[in-house]
Chains A and B, each alone.
Chain A
């Protein structure tokens, strides 16, 4: 196991872009975690400068209500990362559970779960999110729950496919022949063997959740101000004056979203290569 991990790490680090991205991500996550200590002002603290450009006092300027943009950015990252992470955890857990059940118990359980999966998948994703966002009180936790309960069908299908192919393996047949309990087979034998692809898939869900939160908050249906999120900080850029003459209000937030998502995607891609034993070059 130990040497296996080292092996994976070595293969991962061969992707130089991904290694750089991992460093950037670590820094960004640390910055978000340490926001209460490192941000120069509070996220909702109103200072005496309104809509001022970057200066020594406010490194990234202030917004229309006189709040420090850099501080808000740090807290916004905290919100966006939390939403992405929690939504990914929920959807992965739901997807893994349904996928395991569906693949293990063939027959009507499988058919029911897959029909439900098809339904959620055929529902235009954004429409479902928007309708749900309009229904529930907007806020961070409703966004997390909405995204979490919309993103799982991909994971469920992935896990089901994996279980179906694992069923054909000898160790699985040996477990059945030895009369191992179901719970043991499902969670101690099958689950560990599907973790690698699920992990890779989860990174892309993480990236998509961050993008979706940003889009929803941008439209005013996600995280609502005064709580800062990367999406709602861009909301003001819909007005032409901000777009043209106050770039510090929208360029940093937008760039941060792109940086986060690009890095997560790169790391996920390198992880896919590193975890795939066939890629042993």
Chain B
């Protein structure tokens, strides 16, 4: 097992380095962040001084290795805009994003898993078609449009839920207040998770239900409920692990747009600001973090898979 994990880690490392290289190249294609500094009072000399300060006058390769060297010392660099350390910026916005995405993941799974199993158990019946159709709808509604609809209904019409930020301004934000702010963005993400995965869980469950050991269990006459709950569900754990592994990267990206719409003070919001403001160190930091999250999610999926299924050899 240890060897297996080590092997996986070693294959992930070059991918990670490759990602940082692509990042760096892409961003330098974008042109210099100094081009954002303009106006009558900005002289060429001031620009040159700034470039020297930020190390932008060095060749690209050197800039990359400087960044990498800093990274190995645990330093992600400093924001071009606020001069805050990038690690600090990310650290202070990580919490809200984790809260949002984990709530969405849990709610999404709570919808997708029972619905997928229900659909598989009632295959080719009207209820099955209803669930599958609903899941198609869930994966076809653009998140931003669903957000607008929810804001229209719950904020504008019913005045039940706030549509802005993480807590009411001026208050400390107790748990109930945060929960109210969390409801809509989390629901939008959760519905897209559910929509994308109900059919996957359904077909995985169908495959399990057609296995020989389930026929055996059924033929023992222990009753349908026990067959499904005891014998089938345990084996449905594998597809659920897969779903979680696949959704974590999607969630990480999906939250960028949703956070923007609901002004949720998470990583997505600072990412969008950094992208529009060409704040390269911040973009690099966020890309690196998300690549690490994605690779870690893949690795954990593989390990959990090996743990949950004794027949998998590694």
Contact = CB atoms under 8 A, between A and B. Distances in A.
A197 to B, nearest CB: 15
A161 B250 CA distance: 23
Nearest to A230: B142
A219 B260 contact: yes
B18 A116 contact: yes
A254 B15 contact: no
Given A218-B144, A243-B152, A127 B290 contact: yes
A234 B26 contact: no
* Most B-side CB within 10 Å, residue of A130, A207, A258, A265: A130
B276 A134 contact: yes
Contacts of B294: 121-124
A258 B253 contact: no
Main secondary structure of the interface of B (DSSP, over half): helix
Contacts of A214: 142, 144-145
B32 interface: no
B15 A125 contact: no
Contacts of B60: none
A262 B136 contact: yes
A17 B136 CA distance: 12
Nearest to B253: A126
Contacts of B158: none
Interface size class on chain A is 35 or more
Interface in A88-102: none
A122 B29 CA distance: 21
B189 to A, nearest CB: 12
A240 interface: yes
A124 to B, nearest CB: 4
Interface string A125-165: 11100111011000000000000000000000000000000
Interface in A222-255: 234, 237-238, 240, 243-244, 250, 254
Contacts of B14: 115
Interface of B: 14-16, 18-19, 22, 26-27, 29-31, 133, 136-137, 139-145, 148-149, 151-152, 156, 249-250, 252-254, 256-257, 260-261, 271-272, 275-276, 278, 283, 286-287, 290-291, 294-295, 298
Given A115-B18, A254-B149, A261-B141, 10 more contacts: A122-B249, A122-B291, A124-B253, A124-B287, A124-B294, A126-B256, A127-B271, A130-B275, A211-B142, A265-B140
8 contacts: A119-B22, A122-B295, A124-B249, A127-B286, A127-B287, A257-B145, A258-B145, A265-B140
